[in-house]
Amino acid sequence: MYEKHHLLGSEFFQPGEISIKILHRDPQPEYPIHTHDFSELVLILDGKGTHFTRKNTFEVERGDLFVINGDRAHGYKDLKSLKLINILFDLKKLHLPDHDIHKSAGFHTLFTIEPLLRGDGRFTSRLKLDEKQIEEVKQIILKIEKEQTLQREGYSYLTAALFMQLIIYISRIYSRNSESGKSNLYNLGETISFMENNMDRSISIKELLDISHMSESSLLRTFRKITGTSPLDYHLRKRIDRACSLLENTELPVTMIAYDLGFTDSNYFARQFRRIKGESAREYRKKYSARNI
């Protein structure tokens, strides 16, 4: 099967409305391989079929839940009364608050790592919901649909809140399901979660190896495939991103921000900030302040 086309979010999300769209596929038709500029959260309700990428195939059935990022070409074939709920969303346009969700290993595994590795032939993991969990997810989805249908005051705000409830609910399920028999994917999720929980200091590769239970070569190779960079550089960039947030939202001196993020050498912080952001921390704050006058 060849790529059919590239779907656009503008075909599904109305201008000025929240970038969440729920589609019921009953039954899901066979669909050629395609891409799109948004993400999908898929819950299989009934029947069976094959979800495929350019490199691999995955048999799906009731209770399977997975996330697909738009740049990963995929499709459906060999379907037997496949019924599913498809939630289209665009996290960048939703601008959801982070709070502590990025400290969740289940979130990173389900929303970051699995979608990026779904095209890999070695990918074998997925989240499987039991009957009670399927009903819980369906109830949250029904509430989202009700808000979007009635469009009462504040419906977009509540839709976003309900979607966040859904995200943390399934992330917690993933974490609980993985505690007894951790997969390599979940170990990577825990590794990223560890980084998010230690933004106030530098970390060592040994710490990451202990958490991931992988060899150094395997961790470096897999992590680069997922993030495009090394684990230590990824963590450094996250700390610099945190510094940017503090520069934007506080009046703390640059040296204090650097110290709070574990940079004991202010010159090293300055060099790394300029390398990653292309300007100094003071230039960044000045430019951000001017932009918001």
One pLDDT digit (tens) per residue for the chain, 293 residues: 445 588 998 999 988 889 999 999 999 999 999 999 999 999 999 999 999 988 888 899 999 999 998 788 899 999 999 999 999 999 888 988 878 888 898 999 899 888 877 655 454 557 899 999 999 999 999 999 999 999 999 999 999 999 999 999 999 998 887 665 556 778 888 999 999 999 999 999 999 999 998 999 999 998 998 888 999 999 999 999 999 999 998 999 999 999 999 999 999 999 999 999 999 999 999 988 766 65
pLDDT of residue 81: 97
User: pTM for this one?
Assistant: 0.80
pLDDT score for 251: 93
166 Cβ neighbours under 8 A, 6+ residues apart: 41, 87, 137, 140, 141, 144
pLDDT in the model for residue 181: 52
CB 107 within 8 A of CB 197: no
Query: CA–CA separation, 165 vs 160, rounded Å?
Result: 9
SS3 call for 174: helix
Burial of 85 (0-12, 13-18, 19+ CB in 10 A): buried
pLDDT at 2: 44
Q: Which amino acid is at 221?
A: R
Q: How confident is the model at residue 182, as a pLDDT? A: 55
Q: What share of the chain is helix, strand, coil (3-state, %, to 5)?
A: 50, 20, 30
Length of the chain: 293
Give the burial class of 247: count Cβ atoms within 10 A of its Cβ; 0-12 exposed, 13-18 middle, 19 or more buried: buried
What b/e readout covers 153-168, taking b as 16+ CB neighbours within 10 angstroms?
Answer: eebeebbbebbeebbe
Which DSSP symbol is given to 111? I
Q: State the maximum Cα–Cα separation within the chain, in Å, rounded to a whole number.
A: 62
Which residues, other chains included, contact 95 with Cβ-Cβ below 8 Å and sequence gap of 6+? none
Query: Residue 123's CB: how many other CB atoms inside 10 A?
Result: 17
39 closest CA partner among 62, 72, 82, 15? 72
